[in-house]
Chains A and B, each alone.
Chain A
Amino acid sequence: MIHVEGLVKDLGGRRVLDEISFNAPTGTITGLLGPNGAGKTTTMRILATLLVPDQGRVEIAGIDISRDPIGARRALGLVTEDPGLYDRLTVREQLTFTGRAYGLSSSTVAARIDQLASLLGMGDYLDERAGILSKGNRQKVSLSRALVHDPPILLLDEPTSGLDVVAAASLEKLLTLPEVTCGKTVLLSTHRLDEAERMATRVVGIAGGRVVVDATPEELAEAYGGSFREAFVQMLGRAELGG
């Protein structure tokens, strides 16, 4: 479970997050939606302990990230738009080193890599250097790296951005596989409404650094009438006019 309460963050003299609060329940995919500059990435970075909030409290799997950031890091995996791989290392090496850095034994890491390779279809290029892989495959490696220590929390920050339609669909499919995300708390940050509608069981909409909606896609569509997409856009429009 992710618990976010009263999150405030100023960057460059501008308030980027203004009292953000929401929960992401265990075993669900929660979509963090909003237009560019809404504060999604800043929120994800705070949750991943990469940024420190000015105010507010965040709990990751029951761990207060301000009090125990290292413990929180051990409990989460993050996939960002940029996979950030060592080009001269093979996929297996990258995953092995990551697993070892999380304190897993060699045998555990090896077994986990085989399991992930099979699950994500990486068997063909497990021993290839990452530098020669396509962006879609690199993103799969990034996902495996986030999962290698089997964390209870998975943060996905625009994971399909920059991917072509086929690669994005393939990754999206993997992310919804029960074997991949089952039992985990998944927070998916995206500006693509269709992606959120397909994947998320609940959406938190952010605009101008504030939470403007926290509901299931169905609830939203029902409240505003029409499709989820129309309802969400209408909701954002109201929030911006109101803000």
Chain B
Amino acid sequence: MVADQPGRAELRAVATQEALDALRGRRQLIMRAVTPIALFIVVLGATLVLRGADPDQRGNFRVAVEGEFEGSRSTLEALGRGRIDFEASDDAALATARGAHLGLRIPSALDSAIGTSADDIGQSLQIVVFFRPSDPASRAANALVRAGFSELRKRLLLEVTQARTTQITLNVTDVQLTEKGTRRLSSGLVPALLVLQASMVVAGAATRILGRRNRGLLIAQLLLPMSRWRMSLAKMLAEFVIGLATAGPVLIVVLLFVAGTSFGSDGVVAAIIATAATLITAAALYVPMAAVGLLIGTLARTQEQVSLGAAVAVIISATTAAVFALGDLPPFGPTALIPVAGLATALRDLLAGQGSPLWVLVGMVSSVGVAAAFTAFAARSFNSERLVLRSVA
């Protein structure tokens, strides 16, 4: 009964066997589902703290100005007292949501509007100030600008009569409560959570592979009539499935959230695209993480080495989540070429209404590509001699 050349069945059999065994370990699954949520809270908190780590702002504040910038320069420079760098912006609210310390929406020709020539008739100027209350630096910039306006009002009162004074009204807005601000924040939270959730696969996969080696399971597998590459691929696919299954509940909530927010702001088509892109991103993030776990589990000799490798992977993932998903990097499509990080950025930009599904696909290809490279490298390390002798040692 020597079998014919097996095809996909061999791959499916090994992958299913691995996945089924892991999925029946409920305690591990619960741990893997819950840990990333805790990690996410820590990363989000750390990101917010780091953003506001310098409330005295040793450097200048960055303030985005929406409106006629050139015709307002004198007034703005007086407000800033040398501590503010003003930059022209098409959308002050969005710029503030993205990371500028403050946003100002000013009327046209501010300089001349608050001028003190005798012919001027007092008028009312509406200035909208956008800030982020959760960011101490943004709060400080807000206080500085408001103090500047207050001084400006006093100066106007001293120089002209009350009847002819230009009235300046400041409308201070919490940008995080605006649609753009909320969208910007949530667009970063989704990829950040996905990256952190996916990073849990690394430790699980590496530990499982080392554990199976130590329990003699690997010898039985190395006896199967399949190439090392297919064996490595089967194990990677199993870890991918385990990762997705573990993340299932969180992933469903995230997808519903994305669908709901996108539908509310942009309609059905955008909601479908955003949900599909989130699902693709989630799946594509698990592939390289599973491959990294496979590689660590194959290369490591001890559980300590697995723990160290997994910890490094989680730290890199957390940094990626903080910088690329939650950070203030401006939208730039080709970032998607960077595996994992680029994919997270592409999804963030898409959900913020500033990206394209195409870049998400590019990010998916780059992430899966690097996963294939890791899997091939793991297959080369899947040297039966080394693994068998190690498992004996």
Contact = CB atoms under 8 A, between A and B. Distances in A.
Interface of A: 11, 45, 48-52, 70-71, 73-78, 80, 82-89, 93-94, 96-98, 100-104, 108, 112, 145, 149-152
B220 A104 contact: no
A112 B215 CA distance: 26
B82 interface: no
Contacts of B225: 70-71, 73-74, 101-103
7 contacts: A50-B385, A70-B226, A83-B216, A84-B219, A88-B21, A97-B17, A149-B1
B24 interface: yes
Given A84-B217, A102-B3, A103-B3, A48 B12 contact: no
A95 to B, nearest CB: 11
Nearest to A80: B219
B385 A82 contact: no
Nearest to A48: B223
Interface residues of B, number: 34
Contacts of B2: 74-75, 149-152
B217 A85 contact: yes
A61 to B, nearest CB: 8
Interface of B: 1-7, 9-10, 12-14, 16-17, 20-21, 24-25, 215-220, 222-227, 384-385, 388-389
Nearest to A83: B216
A108 B3 CA distance: 10
Contact of A89 (B14, B21, B224, B385): B21
A63 to B, nearest CB: 10
A119 to B, nearest CB: 14
A70 B385 CA distance: 15
Given A88-B25, A102-B3, A103-B3, A145 B16 contact: no
Nearest to A108: B1
Contacts, number: 108
Contact of A52 (B1, B20, B223, B385): B385
B388 A89 contact: no
A45 B1 CA distance: 23
B13 A101 contact: yes
Contacts of A48: 223
B224 A102 contact: yes
Given A11-B389, A51-B384, A103-B7, A89 B223 contact: no
- Point out which of A45, A77, A78 has the most chain B C-beta atoms below 10 A from its C-beta: A45
Given A93-B17, A102-B6, 8 more contacts: A50-B223, A78-B219, A84-B217, A88-B21, A100-B10, A101-B17, A102-B3, A103-B3
A74 B7 CA distance: 14
A66 to B, nearest CB: 13
- Point out which of B4, B6, B225 has the most chain A C-beta atoms below 10 A from its C-beta: B225
Nearest to A105: B9
Nearest to A147: B1
B13 A70 contact: no
A80 B226 CA distance: 20
A80 B216 contact: yes
A94 B217 CA distance: 11
A51 B385 contact: yes
Nearest to A100: B13
